Structures are given as structure tokens and as C-alpha cells.
Amino acid sequence: MIGRVNHIAIAVPDLSSATATYRDTLGAKVSQPQPLREHGVTVVFVELANTKVELLEPLGETSPIAAFLEKNPAGGMHHICYEVDDILAARDRLQAAGARILGDGTPKLGAHGKPVVFLHPKDFTGTLVELEQV
């Protein structure tokens, strides 16, 4: 059901500083910051040959990653995103198997303009999983 890794997301307390580290220290190509109001984050993508790294910064006080950064003030891995061919079929199959979809289960548009859903980390060995339709 799942395809390739689309991206690995890292929550950061300071997006400008994290972007500079990846761009200037590691020599990576990085995108411009993109606010995603519906998700409560601003993101930058570090583009690699085989996948992407998504750097996430809270967008407002009610951001879903604010609590994560309170527990991990220096930041850290937040989630991993896998590609799927059909987001609704994947969601339905997972729910039938007992997996919990976060929110009301309705896919939202992600940073790439494609539908995404998030899976509860307690159902996936402590890792928040994002599925993105390709």
C-alpha cells in the first residue's frame, strides 16, 4: 500500500536558523518558506536526490507542533510521510484494520497541494505517519 518516502519532517524552533544550517553548512538546496495556515505551520523543504526533508516551524500559538517543541525545545523528528496511490482507499483500509486517523479522517491539502492524512503515532511504533496521495 505505501510507496516511497516522500519526506521526513523535523520540527524546529527557528526556521531561518534551521534553513541556514541545511543550506550553508550542508550545502543543500532549500525551498522558500511556505505558510500552511490549515496545518498551523510554516515549512521549508530541503531537496535531496532521493527524498525531501521538511523543516516545520509553528505558525501561531495554536500550532499542532507547539506542544512537540515544548517537550523538545531544540526540535527533532516530527513525522515521516509515505506516498500512496489512493488516499481514500488507504484511509479506509487502515481504519478497517483498526488504525486511528487523526482529525475527522477527511484528507486535507498538504504542502505539495495533494491530499494528506495523519495516522496516530501509538498505532505505528511511536511515529506520527503522514500519507500523501501521489
Residue 108, pLDDT score: 95
Residue 133, pLDDT score: 98
Average pLDDT over residues 72-86: 97
Q: Over the chain, what is the mean pLDDT?
A: 96
Catalytic machinery residues: 130
Residue 61, pLDDT score: 83
Q: How far is CA 34 from CA 41, 118, 129, in A?
A: 8, 20, 21
Q: CATH number for the domain including 25? A: 3.10.180.10
The pTM assigned to this predicted structure is 0.94
Q: What percentage of the chain has pLDDT greater than the value 90?
A: 96
- Domain range enclosing 77: 5-133
Count of domains observed in the chain: 1
Instruction: Report which of 72, 79, 66 is spatially closest to residue 110, judged by C-alpha positions.
Output: 79
